[in-house]
Amino acid sequence: MSNTLRNEINISGKIATEITSLIEHGKLELAMLRCNDLLDNTLTILNRWDNDLSTISKDNCLNAKNQLESLLGEISRLAARGEEPAPKQLLTMQTSCRKIRDIFITEHASVMKKIDETDNA
């Protein structure tokens, strides 16, 4: 089960990195699709491994979920108006992407540490 959780978090981190790159290159439609994929993964992590996640990990995943929902809302509004993000909006979106990515990197390291501790006990 830890390997599956580890893999799910690892995949989420990779998607978050991809979203960051897509936003930075102005590919908002693709970023929106990947945000939906990452939101699906985040909800799966929160629901499937609820009993295996610490309170801090749950809070981190919920924070990522909230950041993703906000990011999706912003991208959707821009797409509906056919607009490109203003420089300040772009900076805010990029910052949000980096926070989401950092959450999954941190959570992956946490799972790996837990596995290492179990293996070395």
pTM above 0.95, yes or no: no
pLDDT digits over 58-109, tens only? 999 999 999 999 999 999 999 889 888 999 999 999 999 999 999 999 999 9
Longest dimension (CA), the chain: 57
* The two three-digit tokens of residue 100, written as one number: 């989401």
So what's the pLDDT on residue 79?
A: 87
Whole-number Å distance between alpha carbons of 22 and 4: 27
Burial-class residue 26 by CB neighbours within 10 Å (0-12, 13-18, 19+).
exposed
Residues 6 or more apart in contact with residue 48 via CB below 8 angstroms = 8
What is the total count of domains within the chain? Answer: 1
CATH code of the domain containing 57: 1.20.120
pLDDT above 80: residue 49: yes
- For 58, the domain range is 2-119
What is the spatial distance between Cα 74 and Cα 46, in angstroms, rounded to a whole number?
24
Q: What is the structure's pLDDT at 1?
A: 47
